[in-house]
Chain A
Amino acid sequence: MSGGAKLRVRVDSVTPVNDLIKRFRFVALDGSDLPAFSGGAHTVVEMDDHGTRRLNPYSLMSSPADRSAYEISVRRDDQGRGGSLFMHRHVTPGMEMTLSYPVNLFPLDTRARKHLMIAGGIGITPFLAQIAQLDQFGGRFELHYAARSRVLGAYMDRLTAAHPSQVHCYFDEENQAIDLSRLLATQPIGTHLYVCGPKGMINWVLSSAEAMGWPRLALHHEEFLAPGTGLPFEVQLAASGKTITVGTTQSLLEAMEAAGVDAPYLCRGGACGQCETNVHKCDGKILHRDHWLSPEEHAANAKIMPCVSRFEGKTLVIDR
């Protein structure tokens, strides 16, 4: 089955964190322990949004040592395709849902002498689990966490209370910014850098670090892309002999699934590479939106990541 092993869970509680963010707590339907996981892992939440199947990845933020429940935080995106709105409006305690087993595309490098973490907004969630893991097993870390305002700085209170000297907060509204060049210049040898947040922040941090000579293998980031919307387009599926139309707010992967085609996937956010599909014919332009394929592969148009990428043009035939 595509997407790997699944977990049946019940929503234990839904907690508003601020105006934009709600926290969801899941327990196993049969009351047993949930699988252990590693800090930085995510789960894909399956939603039945009034007949539309939505699968969105969310970082696990609870302590990896706690197998009694999983927690995620969801930021409401009023302009999005509807997954976060469904979570905010329709998911209530007692509901039964399906999650994927945890998958980690953003793990700590456990050889690191020090972990330097940089978070922007909702990008804080994987770090919460990673910090809990480091608390348990030991490990030096420092977190720099930027949010729009004090009100929107989710979990800042608990982080600063538990780690007053390791957690540093910044607020856009107060014109505070991370002094990145000083921060990156003053780290001990063997430090690994992790960044999770908006695309602009990730690019800023990674390009600064590379320009300052940080080893590429010491730089880690995670960015889930929402599939994004676009004009409808038609795709021919060579292996299954079907022609499908991808709707405005639908991804190509979702359209294949709706047509009964069992396509592989894991993260559904353009990051993991699992859904990579060969392109047989492309008369038009593939709108590559993943960060799995290389720029050369994007230019060659011989492969597509159906979880996030779209198409404009006359004919697209893919090997699925």
Chain B
Amino acid sequence: MSLDFKPGAFDFFRDETFRESFTYRNSNPLRFPFPFDRDDYMYSVNMEPHVPGRKGTAFEHILDVDEHYVAEMIDRAKVLADDPLRCQSLPHMTLAGWDLLELIMEAKARDYPQWFSLTKNGNRWHWVNRPLGIEQSFTFLDESTLPYGPFEYITRQTQGDFSLQDERDNDLWMDAGMITSQADWSLDFDIGMSFMEWHAPVPLAHEKGVFDRALKFLLKLQHGAPVRRFNWTMTVNPLLDTAPETYPKWGPTKTTLTQENLGAKQHLRVELQSLYRLPRSNAIAFDIRCYLCSFEQIVTVPKWARRLHRVVRDLPDELAAYKGFLRNRPAMVEWLSKYDDGAPTSPGWWPDD
């Protein structure tokens, strides 16, 4: 695969960018997975079964393919061309890569037959990805029949960052990853780390025992019963690739916010994280799907406008610092306060009808 696939084969997919011109937009903000189910926020394990949800939302299918699909895949290919170490898989993780390839191909062919198809004749598989113009015959479990390893091959065609955790010694080890739309963490730094090691920088949550409970929970994760949770942060400009490696390029944009441009430039960045036990490898796949929505689009939903103001205003300093927006918090609160009339909000994250 190269950088030469083009949006336009289907009108559904937007021709847009996540860099330089930043033409990314959501056609329908109501589709955005707003992550706050109450007016305040603190870390919790907050896991729920990852089952198909409301039609017309990001939860309709287990792997959401939305209008940004083609543009995101072009952006990923560019990131990988600049820095191939954004995708790594340790030698013992190949089987887990095949597990993930199977999971993704089966889900996409089942849920989006207009765009994807998978035909199997024993281990002879034929995969068609129409939006990206890809057609591939290959032998399942035979690496030599694909242009990349199975993990890289399928994650170059799938929105969301993915890491694969090997389970050993009552712990999880991040032994593979495709990480190009990350909230300021580095696969190249974290590869091979254990669960507690890669979570070490997170403030407050260790003291609350969140990671002990989360690890215990994940070690019991079963095939056929995936789970999901939210995480979130803030990003200036709709930039998918906020990596530590490229911080000099995007970090300084945090200093460019004014009350006039904040609504358009400041984005709430939501990660819909889902976790799957993989069948053949017994590894765990972690899908970190990034959704971006500008403040000016969020405040078109009155409930979300009120709630986002309150969450940002009341967040503990440690979390605002860890999420990288302590410096801009007063400006965000000032901007958001204009959209909060103090009225009560209904429970749950869905917009009021």
CB atoms of A38 and B279 under 8 A apart: yes
- Min distance, Cβ A32 to any Cβ of chain B, angstroms: 12
CB atoms of B225 and A4 under 8 A apart: yes
Given A104-B282, A217-B168, A217-B169, A266:B220 Cβ within 8 A: yes
Return the CB mask of B215-227 against A: 1 if under 8 Å, else 0: 0100010111100
CB atoms of A5 and B224 under 8 A apart: yes
Contacts of A103 in B (CB 8 A): 222-223
CB within 8 Å of A: which B280-326 residues: 280-282
CB within 8 Å of A: which B252-287 residues: 279-282
The CA-CA distance from A5 to B277 in the complex, in Å, is: 12
A178 within 8 A of B: no
CB atoms of A35 and B223 under 8 A apart: yes
State which of A101, A109, A137, A273 has its C-beta within 8 Å of the C-beta of B95.
Answer: A137
A269 within 8 A of B: no
Contacts of B282 in A (CB 8 A): 38, 41, 104, 107
Contacts of B166 in A (CB 8 A): 110
- Min distance, Cβ A26 to any Cβ of chain B, angstroms: 16
A64 within 8 A of B: yes
Count of residues in B whose CB is under 8 Å from the partner chain: 19
CB atoms of A111 and B167 under 8 A apart: no
Contacts of B99 in A (CB 8 A): 36
- Min distance, Cβ B196 to any Cβ of chain A, angstroms: 16
A13 within 8 A of B: no
Return the CB mask of A255-276 against B: 1 if under 8 Å, else 0: 0000000000010000011100
SS class, residues of chain B in contact with chain A: loop
Contacts of B279 in A (CB 8 A): 35-38, 102
The CA-CA distance from A217 to B168 in the complex, in Å, is: 8
Return the CB mask of A1-23 against B: 1 if under 8 Å, else 0: 00011000000000000000000
Contacts of B280 in A (CB 8 A): 36-38, 64, 133
B92 within 8 A of A: yes
- Min distance, Cβ B106 to any Cβ of chain A, angstroms: 11
CB atoms of B222 and A110 under 8 A apart: no
State which of B168, B216, B223 has its C-beta within 8 Å of the C-beta of A37.
Answer: B223
- Min distance, Cβ A66 to any Cβ of chain B, angstroms: 12
The CA-CA distance from A273 to B168 in the complex, in Å, is: 16
Given A37-B280, A38-B280, A110-B281, A272:B220 Cβ within 8 A: yes
Contacts of A36 in B (CB 8 A): 99, 102, 279-280
The CA-CA distance from A4 to B226 in the complex, in Å, is: 10
Return the CB mask of B166-183 against A: 1 if under 8 Å, else 0: 111100000000000000
Contacts of B222 in A (CB 8 A): 4-5, 101, 103, 266
- Min distance, Cβ B305 to any Cβ of chain A, angstroms: 38
Q: Which of B99, B220, B279 has the most CB of A within 10 A?
A: B279
Given A35-B279, A37-B279, A110-B95, A102:B169 Cβ within 8 A: no
CB atoms of A111 and B220 under 8 A apart: no
Contacts of A266 in B (CB 8 A): 220, 222
The CA-CA distance from A272 to B279 in the complex, in Å, is: 18
The CA-CA distance from A104 to B223 in the complex, in Å, is: 10
Contacts of A38 in B (CB 8 A): 279-282
Contacts of B168 in A (CB 8 A): 109, 111, 217
Q: Which residue of A lies closest to B94 (CB)?
A: A137
Q: Which residue of B lies closest to A38 (CB)?
A: B282
The CA-CA distance from A91 to B118 in the complex, in Å, is: 38
Question: Can you list 28 A-B pairs with a CB-CB distance of less than 8 A?
Answer: A4-B222, A4-B225, A5-B222, A5-B223, A5-B224, A5-B225, A35-B223, A35-B224, A36-B102, A37-B223, A38-B279, A38-B281, A64-B280, A101-B224, A101-B225, A102-B223, A102-B279, A103-B222, A103-B223, A104-B282, A107-B167, A111-B168, A137-B95, A217-B168, A217-B169, A266-B220, A273-B220, A274-B220
8 more contacts with CB within 8 A, not counting A101-B223, A102-B223, A103-B223, are A36-B99, A38-B279, A64-B280, A102-B279, A104-B282, A109-B168, A110-B92, A274-B220
Residues of A within 8 A of B (CB): 4-5, 35-38, 41, 64, 101-104, 107, 109-111, 133, 136-137, 217, 266, 272-274
Residues of B within 8 A of A (CB): 92, 95, 99, 102, 141, 166-169, 216, 220, 222-225, 279-282
